[in-house]
Structure 1
């Protein structure tokens, strides 16, 4: 049970053996690490004491196989160690580091990222619990969040944090997987599934693999929906013998996906409203702020209250429910827990916005985080919203399309080019009025026609105040940006109080 002290994730002896490294500074006798982290951001999200993996950008880029490593970027995380040492158990380094306490444990290896990948593989080898893999164009984080909350309270659970789902991210998440965890839930991105050396799912070896959605994401690897489906279906190649593949029935290329799954899966469960679905959604009706969902599975009917009436999120709840049953947990207990699931806030959340002056607009709150890809996707969602076949077809006609855009963080030296690159998709989105927040957005402003630009703000309260006065009935407002180290994330809440 969760009350007992968790076993150490790594001992000094295991680390040296698996990484083939050399302790420059030996740890004390009963030393242990409970997680492995590659950056300060993850130290807050994983259990302490953490072992830090220091590397430079070029080493990481080589392992991630970035198609265009940024030659101008040359950060080196070794330089962060002196400032972080008090919060760490020790570090894996490529070379000795100045400014550290003489007793700070240091394990020297040839390539710290490769060492971390080896730890991920070794952690998976020794692991005896259940592992779930989740992939899809969208919906990964919310599906994982729902599934985590459906598991019994006493279950020890380890999940992907911070969407770290790349070909380095998946093994990095496994590197923090303790031997006594009951369920590990891993998010996998397309990049970790299309690699030429075989998909990362071969290393992760899930017992249950979920595909949430197949759509065209703006990657150079996938040029068609069929090709996207082919890449995503590679998650099934790593299934453990007898493993279960879970696929929603609304996706394009459903047959292709089911056939791909059938090659390796012990069972393929199709989830959805169609007559052929194995996990069949019989219907949904509004209840409170959310909706009640009725599901037939293995000849029994279950019903649960889901707290949000969003079609996409309800669909993710059905996939999570199916995964939980596939793992052998009790479906009725899961139904009882469903009303209490906590979703990642502000993930493509479409809601009505009524200001005090009586204006009725629609808010798309996507202020959780931002990267170039999700910015482009949000702009495309706005472009198609309310148009036939688009994100909100069937919605009332849109008066004006307005965007409140915040900066993208963690781009280092590429920040200027990346922010400027958003001009083309923005011009293509049908957005007529753009309000910006955060220093880096000034670059995008320089690329835009003055007629489209509203003011620039560094304060969430001022930005929300401006929008409150500007909005008219029928407007569609996108709020998209990153809340990291900024007050941008306050804007949706401030708008609701207008």
Structure 2
């Protein structure tokens, strides 16, 4: 493998001292996934990474980035000693960005950051060497880690930038030194930390502070807070490219055709018609994909090739992947499962329900003879004082009458359970484990089941319970986020 960091370069970037020469082929913060030859970064989080340095070296780490020599580690072990490990990781990230000629895009938004990042990985991969995080590494350590892992020969980099509190996005965007910034959407999320959706919009707009001179802002034109985003771009003297369905958007959606397995989009690119398909159902995918195509053009890519390559994208695991759970191998009968148990807020919940509503159950194969659409919905967290109203509002989602049963998990979801028509009410439980234990009673052959909730609601336990009912077939290339 190619060397990513030599000891002298890493020491120069961080101002640290290398106890002996090393050559690292990667950067890791977790001994469980560390591969031989990588630089282990001893971050302090829930645990102190210094406690795992010995294990990392025993596993073959090229060296460890530390602020002290850990107990049980020899003084002549391969170490890069710095005053502060997180600050040193940030310095590595900045140095990696500075030494590459890559064009870098930063993505933020209340919904769709990870899926849009993966769309761009597919699109840009057809036109150059792409670097992007493998997971949702979008916080104060995830962004510098992603940058520090960037090979020098990278041509395009896609950096996901998230936030939980005011003031988090701008420093990360400046660290990434962006050529293009994209804001997927602004929606009620993290309202515990913000006074209003307008406050969230201003924080999202701060990603534009990280754009280089001449950088491009790719912004959602359809949201109510679009004027806040555009005003920020204008104040910084940046070119703003608007995408969406509203009249006047440079990249404008004309129609979206949603089927059980795909989304077909007719759009206009500054007056020129374009047609593209995403192999996953969901109206939100149309907007995210159109925004991704606008980003690709802003990065200098061929838009026609990009429109073809957007179809290579498939959703990350746990974010709406559709899979077949086979219950009877002889008869090849079972049910379909949408696993969207990673994250939830009102916008992503609406998008997931749209996909469930568009999906077609299979009739004539189960005990009930009629396949059903079923939702298992867990609490949406961090919504602040409006949380009860926002949960209850799901009952008014357009087309929700097509969902036969809605099971609700968690104290916040009781507001939805009470707002539902009696015929649609499934079970309400305090914890996901209660429902997971009765997974078999929830479904029948031919059903389509959506499981959606914030990670803290632990509705992934219900996903696990449903998967244990059969042998999962190959995932279908479909998703909800």
Match of 1:15 among 10, 13, 20: 10
C-alpha distance in 2 between matches for 1:79 and 1:454: 33
What's 2:273 paired with? Answer: 301
C-alpha distance in 2 between matches for 1:289 and 1:496: 22
TM-score, structure 1 normalization: 0.74
Computed over aligned residues only, the root mean square deviation of the Cα atoms, in angstroms, reads 3.8
SS in 1 for 2:152: coil
C-alpha distance in 2 between matches for 1:495 and 1:380: 35
What's 2:30 paired with? Answer: 39
What's 2:345 paired with? Answer: none
Match of 2:439 among 458, 464, 467: 464
CA contact (8 A) 1:131 1:185 kept: yes
C-alpha distance in 1 between matches for 2:312 and 2:389: 32
Q: How does 1:272-421 map to 2 (within 5 A)?
A: 272-286=244-258, 289-347=261-319, 348=340, 349=352, 350-351=355-356, 352=359, 356-357=366-367, 358-364=369-375, 373=382, 383-387=392-396, 392-396=397-401, 400-403=405-408
- Deviation at residue 168 of structure 1 after TM alignment: 2.9
CA contact (8 A) 2:377 2:406 kept: no
C-alpha distance in 2 between matches for 1:152 and 1:277: 26
Match of 2:42 among 51, 54, 70: 54
After superposition, what is the alpha-carbon deviation per residue over 1:149-189, rounded to whole angstroms, capped at 9, x for unaligned? 11234622111332121133222221212221111111111
CA contact (8 A) 1:167 1:191 kept: no
C-alpha distance in 1 between matches for 2:387 and 2:286: 20
Distance 1:96 1:217, change over 3 A: same
Q: How does 1:35-434 map to 2 (within 5 A)?
A: 35-40=26-31, 43=34, 49-57=37-45, 75-85=47-57, 86-100=59-73, 104-153=77-126, 155-191=128-164, 194-195=167-168, 199-264=171-236, 266-286=238-258, 289-347=261-319, 348=340, 349=352, 350-351=355-356, 352=359, 356-357=366-367, 358-364=369-375, 373=382, 383-387=392-396, 392-396=397-401, 400-403=405-408, 423=411, 425-430=412-417
CA contact (8 A) 2:38 2:63 kept: yes
What's 2:477 paired with? Answer: none
SS in 2 for 1:161: coil
Distance 1:434 1:164, change over 3 A: farther
- Deviation at residue 99 of structure 1 after TM alignment: 4.2
- Deviation at residue 378 of structure 1 after TM alignment: 11
CA contact (8 A) 1:398 1:475 kept: no
C-alpha distance in 2 between matches for 1:360 and 1:395: 16
Higher relative contact order, chain-length normalized (CA < 8 Å, sep 6+) = 2
C-alpha distance in 1 between matches for 2:295 and 2:377: 26
CA contact (8 A) 1:400 1:476 kept: no
- Deviation at residue 492 of structure 1 after TM alignment: 5.8
After superposition, what is the alpha-carbon deviation per residue over 1:423-443, rounded to whole angstroms, capped at 9, x for unaligned? 3x233342766688xxxxxxx
C-alpha distance in 2 between matches for 1:342 and 1:79: 38
Deviates more, 1:34-43 or 1:323-332: 34-43
C-alpha distance in 1 between matches for 2:434 and 2:279: 36
Structure 2: runs of 5+ lacking an equivalent = 320-339, 341-351, 419-424, 473-481
Structure 1: runs of 5+ lacking an equivalent = 58-72, 406-421, 437-443, 446-452
C-alpha distance in 2 between matches for 1:492 and 1:267: 48
